[in-house]
Amino acid sequence: MSVSTTTPTPTNATSESSENPREADRCWVSGFIPSVSYSGAIHECHIKDAIFSTPRERVDPSNTLRLRSDLHAMYDARMFHFAADGGVVWDNWISDNELARLGIRRDAAIDSLLMTPARKHYMEQRITRYESWLYARKIAIAAEEKKHRENVRIYGINGRPMPSPYMV
């Protein structure tokens, strides 16, 4: 009587996990794969912000992507976003040296196999919200600058009143 020593292959394997068992824990932007099983290294994060999502969208696997923990914090802080095709769009003030320290190329992108139509849809929704947030931020900054100029005109630079141009 012989006993089979082969292990059965999982029937639910996806294209997101290849031969490497740790591939499912890979960061989709940097390609980082933790060398040990550490649950805090790779985060599942929402493409469309959870606060703006419906309950169904919050649990939809297509509304998630995998990022390294530091990149997740940068993503939530709007330091970068994704184009609808999965390309990473970095803020202009992030230098190439900064990206090199993070181990990321400026032209990083999510693998096209992972860019399902549903993920593209969620990314387009986030881009629309990001653009409206950016527009509102620019308006707020312009209002603050106008207020500052008005205060300088009225109160002077060091809080001392400016002399009137009509005084001789």
Model confidence pLDDT, tens digit, residues 78-127: 889 888 888 999 988 889 999 999 989 989 999 888 889 999 999 888 88
Give the mean pLDDT of 135-164: 73
Q: Considering only CA atoms, which of 52, 61, 118, 127 is closest in space to residue 88?
A: 127
What ranges in 7-109 are assigned the alpha helix state H? 55-59, 69-76, 96-102
End-to-end CA distance of the chain: 115
Percentage of the residues of the chain whose pLDDT score is greater than 70: 74
Measure Cα distances from 110 to 12, 63, 76, 121, 147 in Å.
22, 14, 17, 15, 43
Predicted local distance difference test score (pLDDT) of residue 88: 92
Predicted local distance difference test score (pLDDT) of residue 53: 87
Judged by average pLDDT, the poorest of 11-20, 25-34, 68-77, 118-127 is 11-20
Predicted local distance difference test score (pLDDT) of residue 138: 83
